[in-house]
C-alpha cells in the first residue's frame, strides 16, 4: 500500500511540475505551406495554365489572374526557368497570392523567395505582411539563369500574419508578370554580442533562410525598399542590394555565411555601434571572392569615424581571402562603420551575372 501511495504522489508531483513548464512554439525556418508550388491545382481548376477559383491553389488564396506553370519552353516562344523545382506561379496583371502564417507578435521574420521577371523590364512585386508593404523591383537581374532570390523582413503584430504577393503592373499582355517558384520564412532570433567584439552579427551568421537545393545567394534589398533589415544588426543603405551567400554553394571565409557586394558603389552596408568618445578602436574584416567565377581587380572601402581604408584585392575566382584592419578614433557615443565595393564586376564566363567581393568576420575591438 505504501508503494502505491508513493507512486501516486510521484505522478501528481510530476504533473504539477510539468504544468509550470512553459510551452514554446517551434523555431520557424522553412517553406510556407506549398511554398515550392509542387502541389498542383486539380485539373478541373485549370484553364490551360490559368488557375480557376479562389482556393484552387493548395495552401494559398488567389485573386485575379494567376497561372500555374511548369519550367521549360512555353507557347509563343518563351522559356521559363524554374531552378528550384518543376512548378511555379506567375502573377498576371493585378494578380496575387496570399497565405496566413502563425507567428509570434513582436518578433522579426524574413521571407525568402525566388522571383524572376518574365516579360517587361519594369516588373514590380508588391509584398504585404502585417500592414507592412514594399514594392520590390525585379528590373535588374543579378543572375542570368532565373535564380534570383530576394529576402524581405517584417515585424509580426499579431499571432497570425497574412502574407501577400501582388503584381500591381498593367502590361499589354495580361499574363505578363513576376514568376514565383519558392517562398520560405524564418524567425530572426535576438542578437547577442560576441565577447570583445562591438559589432553585432559581424560574421553574418544570423540572416534569412537559404534554399538548400539551389542557390545563387539571397539579395537583401536596400532600406528604402525594406525598412526592417533581413540581416539583423546591419543596414543596407544603398540604391542596390547586397547578396547573402552560404558555405554550401559559395566559398565563405569563416562560419556558414558571408556577404557579397554585388553592385559596386550602389551596394553599401553599415552598422552603428556604441563607442566612447575620443577612445581608439581597431576595425578588422576579411575580404575575398566567393569562388563563383567573379574575377578582376576588386576593392572594398571601409569607413569608421574619420578614417577610411581601401583594400585592393585581385580575384581569380578561386575562393582566396585576406584580412585587413585599421585604427580609428571615436568622435561620439555612436560610430557608423560602412563598407562598399569600389568597382562593378561580372562573372568571367557570364557577363550578365553581377558579382563582387566577399565581406566577412567584421570586428571592432577597443585598443588597450
Average pLDDT score, the chain: 87
- How many other CB atoms sit within 10 Å of the CB of residue 353? 21
Q: What was the pLDDT predicted at 146?
A: 66
- Domain boundary at 131, 155, 187, which? 187
For the stretch 293-320, pLDDT in tens is 888 899 999 999 999 999 999 998 889 9
- Distance in angstroms (rounded) separating the CA atoms of residues 268 and 238: 5
Q: Taking residues 152-170, what's their average pLDDT? A: 93
Q: What was the pLDDT predicted at 13?
A: 42
Q: Are 92 and 176 in contact (CB under 8 A)?
A: yes
Q: Range with the lowest mean pLDDT among 7-21, 118-132, 230-244?
A: 7-21
The burial class, CB within 10 Å (0-12 / 13-18 / 19+), for 334 is exposed
- What's the CATH number where 151 sits? 2.60.120.260
Q: What was the pLDDT predicted at 120?
A: 66
Q: What range defines the domain where residue 106 resides?
A: 29-187
For the stretch 343-358, pLDDT in tens is 888 887 777 788 999 9
Does residue 23 surpass a pLDDT of 50? no
Does residue 6 fall inside a structural domain?
no
Do 346 and 240 lie in a common domain?
yes
Does residue 3 fall inside a structural domain?
no
Percent of all residues in the chain with a pLDDT value above 90, rounded to a whole number:
63
Do 149 and 247 lie in a common domain?
no
Q: What was the pLDDT predicted at 265?
A: 85
- Rg (alpha carbons) of the chain, rounded to whole number: 24
Give the pLDDT band of residue 121 (cuts 50, 70, 90): low
Give the pLDDT band of residue 10 (cuts 50, 70, 90): very low
Q: Range with the lowest mean pLDDT among 89-103, 135-149, 154-168, 223-237?
A: 135-149
Does residue 79 surpass a pLDDT of 60? yes
Q: Range with the lowest mean pLDDT among 27-31, 212-216, 316-320, 329-333?
A: 212-216
Do 210 and 182 lie in a common domain?
no
Structurally, how many domains does the chain consist of? 2
Do 239 and 129 lie in a common domain?
no
Do 260 and 160 lie in a common domain?
no
- Domain boundary at 156, 187, 218, which? 187
Does residue 15 surpass a pLDDT of 50? no
Q: Are 130 and 162 in contact (CB under 8 A)?
A: yes
Q: Range with the lowest mean pLDDT among 15-24, 30-39, 183-192, 255-264?
A: 15-24
Q: What was the pLDDT predicted at 26?
A: 62
Amino acid at each position: 500500500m505504501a508503494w502505491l501511495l508513493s507512486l501516486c504522489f510521484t505522478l501528481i508531483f510530476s504533473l504539477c511540475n510539468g504544468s509550470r513548464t512553459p510551452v514554446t512554439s517551434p523555431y520557424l525556418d522553412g517553406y510556407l505551406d506549398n511554398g515550392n508550388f509542387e502541389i498542383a491545382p486539380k485539373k478541373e481548376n485549370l484553364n490551360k495554365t490559368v488557375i480557376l477559383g479562389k482556393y484552387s491553389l493548395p495552401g494559398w488564396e488567389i485573386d485575379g489572374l494567376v497561372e500555374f506553370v511548369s519550367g521549360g519552353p512555353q507557347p509563343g516562344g518563351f522559356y521559363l526557368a524554374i531552378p528550384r523545382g518543376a512548378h511555379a506561379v506567375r502573377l498576371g496583371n493585378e494578380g496575387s497570392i496570399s497565405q496566413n502564417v502563425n507567428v509570434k507578435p513582436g518578433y522579426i521574420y524574413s521571407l525568402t523567395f525566388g522571383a524572376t521577371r518574365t516579360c517587361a523590364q519594369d516588373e514590380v512585386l508588391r509584398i504585404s505582411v502585417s500592414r507592412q508593404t514594399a514594392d520590390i523591383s525585379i528590373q535588374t537581374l543579378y543572375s542570368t539563369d532565373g535564380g534570383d532570390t530576394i529576402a524581405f523582413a517584417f515585424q509580426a503584430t499579431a499571432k497570425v500574419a497574412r502574407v501577400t504577393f501582388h503584381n500591381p503592373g498593367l502590361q499589354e499582355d495580361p499574363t505578363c508578370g513576376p514568376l514565383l517558384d519558392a517562398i520560405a520564412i524564418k524567425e530572426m532570433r535576438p542578437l547577442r554580442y560576441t565577447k570583445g567584439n562591438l559589432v553585432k552579427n559581424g560574421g553574418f551568421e544570423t540572416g534569412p533562410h537559404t534554399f538548400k537545393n539551389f542557390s545563387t545567394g539571397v539579395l537583401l534589398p536596400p532600406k528604402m525598399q525594406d525598412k526592417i533589415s533581413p540581416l539583423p544588426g546591419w543596414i543596407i543603405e544603398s540604391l542596390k542590394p547586397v547578396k547573402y551567400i552560404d558555405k554550401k554553394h559559395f566559398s565563405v571565409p569563416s562560419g556558414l555565411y558571408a556577404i557579397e557586394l554585388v553592385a559596386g558603389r550602389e551596394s553599401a552596408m553599415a552598422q552603428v555601434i556604441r563607442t566612447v568618445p575620443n577612445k581608439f578602436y581597431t576595425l578588422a574584416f576579411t575580404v575575398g571572392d566567393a569562388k563563383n567565377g567573379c574575377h578582376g581587380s576588386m576593392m572594398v572601402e571601409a569607413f569608421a569615424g574619420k578614417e577610411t581604408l581601401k583594400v585592393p584585392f585581385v580575384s581569380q575566382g578561386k575562393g582566396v581571402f585576406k584580412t585587413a584592419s585599421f585604427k580609428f578614433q571615436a568622435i561620439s557615443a555612436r560610430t557608423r562603420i560602412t563598407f562598399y565595393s569600389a568597382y562593378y564586376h561580372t562573372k568571367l564566363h557570364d557577363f550578365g551575372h553581377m558579382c563582387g567581393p566577399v565581406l566577412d568576420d567584421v570586428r571592432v575591438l577597443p585598443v588597450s
